[in-house]
Every structure is written in structure tokens, then in C-alpha cells.
Structure 1
Amino acid sequence: MSETAQVSSLPLPPMQYVTLFSEENTKRGRTPRPPPPITDNYSMFGNPYNTDDAVIRPLESQNIRRLYPNNYDHRRELKKLNHSITASFLDLVDICIRNPESEARATKIDDLTLLFIHMHHLVNEFRPHQARETLRVMLEQQKRQRLEIAERFRRHFDKAWELVQQAISTIPEPTESNIKLLIDIERVQPSEGNLNNQACGNGCAEEDRVLCQIIDLL
């Protein structure tokens, strides 16, 4: 068994487990392997869970008495629970003032606990909607950023095109004086029949004659 496998199989405290992911261990490949996926039961915050359970478990599966019907309006039930919690809290305060040692105090605390559990459960049922809404907002933000980038690119392209057009418009038109500077290649280069003639009739070389013609044209 390799050293990596031995390290990953040992139960380690959280902070000691984090220290194993140092840069040196990462370069040497000595970081612990990720834990295997859970396929059956697990415990979270001291409560047992099963991988096949629903994301939001019903109250009956937790042995909690339901205070509202199966078909309900979340907003209406949350308002009712809020009013019930306020009234129960005032009753608890009155009991603590009149007779703190009475059994009604423990009963009222149990009622408040049950009301808070129901409110927490109703709020948790909105978590999937919250996740979808968060994803929708993220996608809209990414879309807006891409549109802004495309708009900036279009503005830069229009500016570059405008600069190119301005540069083209500043090029002067050819005038008669500029035309004289152009060299007639056909007149300068000798024809194929005269390529074999290395010197002219007066004894000058062909290259010197062409150079003289260029100077005369200038």
C-alpha cells in the first residue's frame, strides 16, 4: 500500500486533514484521496439521513405532528405561524411573571418549539425555488456581461474603421508632378531582342545606357 493510500485511510481531525493539502504534497502527489461517495445512510449535525430521502423531508417522517393541512398556501401558513408564535411568546412571558414554576411554562415552551419547527420547515420548502431563482439571476448576469463585451467590441470596431477611412482620405491624389516621378518600366527595361547586346554603338555598356535614360526622365 502506498503512502498516499495509508494517509487517506486514516481518520484525521478537520484542521490536520486540511494541512495535508500543502503545495509540497500537491507537487509530490501525496495529498489524500477524496472520500468515496455515500451510497446508504449518513449522519449530519447528529441527525441520521438516507441518500434516497427527499431533499425536504416531510414532517411525518421526522415524527412531528403537522399543524397545517397537506394542501396549503405557504404565505398564508407562514403568517398564521408568525401570529401563533407571537401569541405563545406573550403567554410564556405572562406565565413566567405569574408562576415561573408551573407546568404550563414547559408546555408553552414545547408549543413554541413546535411552531418554530413548522416555520423552519415551510421556509426550507422554498429552498429549491431559491436555487432556481439564483441560477436564473446568474445566467442573466452572464448574458448581460457578454452583451456588454459585444457592444464594446462593436464600438472599438467602428472606431478602428473610422480611423482607417480617415487615413485613406488623407492620401493625396496623384498630380502631374508626381506622375513625372514614376518610372516607365517598359522604357527602362530592354526588350528581349536587345538583351544580347552588351554595349551600344558608341561603345557604352547597356547598364550605363539604361541608367542615363532614368536620369533623363527625372
Structure 2
Amino acid sequence: MAESQGVSAFPLPPSQYVKLYTDDNVKRGRAPQPPPPLTDTYTMFGAQFNSDDTIIRPLESQGFKRLHPQNYDHKRELKKLNHSILVNFLDLVDLLIKSPDSPKRTEKLEDLNLLFIHMHHLINEFRPHQARETLRVMMERQKKERGEIAERFEKHLEKVKELIQSSLRSLPDDFSFDSKALVKTELLQASRQQNGIAMETEPCDQLDRMMCDIVDGMN
């Protein structure tokens, strides 16, 4: 939890603050607004930070001595740090066995602490690259999934086309689309001729009568 000058950034405890964001409150606009962004210093995990600090701060700004040059190979420096940590750990074990009360024990612990801080710093410098790589992998997976879906859709479409073509080829050559559901042209024309004059004076009634005659002729 980030705090600004010892004051919590949330007006309520987090457990109660989250409960105010119910579906009904959000729908009615009653959910509280999020806290404003911090504009000064804040503490996190016991360390004090400024709101305008860079995400990955230089070691010098944190009060640590730099053990590697400004321009360096991350892979090479990480290997060197790993080797140094192992050597200092073995030295510390040997020191504890031979002389547990020696003041050099504190020096070795400080050296190990500094080495771990440097390794953690170098690993953090890989975070932007890790984020880009993770995004690239996600996009490639989505592209692959969508390609597979499009391919399956094309296969189903081809099957549907084959079924339609097969059904059309199986129809007889003298197949006719005449059906009782279709209105007979002759009956419709006869009804129009018989009721042509009356339709001009009573269009609604004559149209109803004409449709009834057509239905009777279909039965």
C-alpha cells in the first residue's frame, strides 16, 4: 500500500473501499471516485519514493556503489555477480567455522547484500524487454488461433458448398417449383378481371374477397 507522507492514499480501508464498487452503485453512478494520484513522496515496502522518480533508478541515486561500468553486457555481468556471490558465500561459511566472532563476518554480509542488490538491479533492467517479449508471444498466439479459426471456417464453408452442389445435382431434370404455397397466376388474373370495377370503389373489401377466392382455389 502506497502512502503519502504517512497518510493513506485511500479514504477508507481497502477491504471497505472495494465493497463500495457494487454493480448497482456503478450503474447508478454512486461508486466513489478513485483516489487522486500522488504528487509528492510516498513510502512502499518501507522505502521512500518520489512520484516523479524513474521506474528503474540508477544505483547511485539509491546510495549504492556501482560494481560494473556504465556500458556493460548484462549476461556477462550477471555471470560475474553470480560467481562473486558464490565465492563470498563460501568465504563467509569458512569464516564462521574458523572464527565466528571475527568482525570480517559483518563485512562479508555487507558484500553479499551489495552483490544481491546489483543482481536484482540488472534483472529489473530486463523488465521492459520482458514486457515486450511477453506481448509479442501473446500476439503471435492470438494470430495463430485466429488463423486456425479461419482455416476451420473455410473447411466448413467448402463442405456446405459441396452439400448444396450435391443436392442440386440429385434433383430430377423435370423438377418444377410449382406448389400449393405458390399463387396460381391464372386464378389471380381471373380474380382481377372479375373484380376490377368493384375494386375501384371498395378496395379493401374486394381485396379480401379476391384473396379468399385464391385460397379456395388452392384447396
Please tell me the residue identity of whatever aligns with 1:156: H
Tell me: CA distance 1:52–1:10, structure 2 relative to 1, closer, same or farther (3 Å). closer
Q: Secondary structure at the match of 1:43?
A: strand
**Cα deviation, residue 97, structure 1:** 1.1
Look up the match of 2:78.
Answer: 78
Q: Secondary structure at the match of 1:72?
A: coil
Look up the match of 1:125.
Answer: 125
Look up the match of 2:68.
Answer: 68
1:15-94 residue pairs with structure 2 within 5 A?
A: 15-94=15-94
Distance 1:68 1:85 in 2: 15
Look up the match of 2:168.
Answer: 168
Tell which structure's C-alpha radius of gyration is larger. 1
TM-score in terms of structure 2 length = 0.71
Please tell me the residue identity of whatever aligns with 2:18: V
Please tell me the residue identity of whatever aligns with 1:11: P
Look up the match of 2:145.
Answer: 145
Distance 1:11 1:52 in 2: 23
Distance 2:168 2:57 in 1: 72
Distance 2:39 2:101 in 1: 49
**Gap regions ≥5 residues in structure 2:** 1-8, 177-183, 188-192, 195-219
Distance 1:103 1:170 in 2: 98
Distance 1:89 1:10 in 2: 43
Look up the match of 1:102.
Answer: 102
Aligned residues: CA RMSD: 2.8
Moved more, 14-23 or 63-72: 14-23
Distance 1:10 1:46 in 2: 18
Query: CA contact under 8 A between 2:10 and 2:35: conserved in structure 1?
Result: no
**Cα deviation, residue 54, structure 1:** 2.1
**Cα deviation, residue 143, structure 1:** 0.9
Look up the match of 1:201.
Answer: none
Distance 2:10 2:78 in 1: 47
Moved more, 38-47 or 142-151: 38-47
- Count matched residues: 176
Please tell me the residue identity of whatever aligns with 2:73: D
**Cα deviation, residue 146, structure 1:** 1.3
Distance 2:10 2:93 in 1: 52
Distance 1:73 1:10 in 2: 42
1:196-215 residue pairs with structure 2 within 5 A?
A: none
Distance 2:10 2:45 in 1: 22
Q: Secondary structure at the match of 1:153?
A: helix
Look up the match of 1:158.
Answer: 158
Tell me: CA distance 1:55–1:10, structure 2 relative to 1, closer, same or farther (3 Å). closer
Distance 2:134 2:122 in 1: 19
Please tell me the residue identity of whatever aligns with 2:127: R
**Gap regions ≥5 residues in structure 1:** 1-8, 179-184, 190-194, 197-218
Please tell me the residue identity of whatever aligns with 1:139: M
Please tell me the residue identity of whatever aligns with 1:108: K
- Matched residues, percent identical? 60
Tell me: CA distance 1:10–1:144, structure 2 relative to 1, closer, same or farther (3 Å). closer
**Cα deviation, residue 31, structure 1:** 2.5
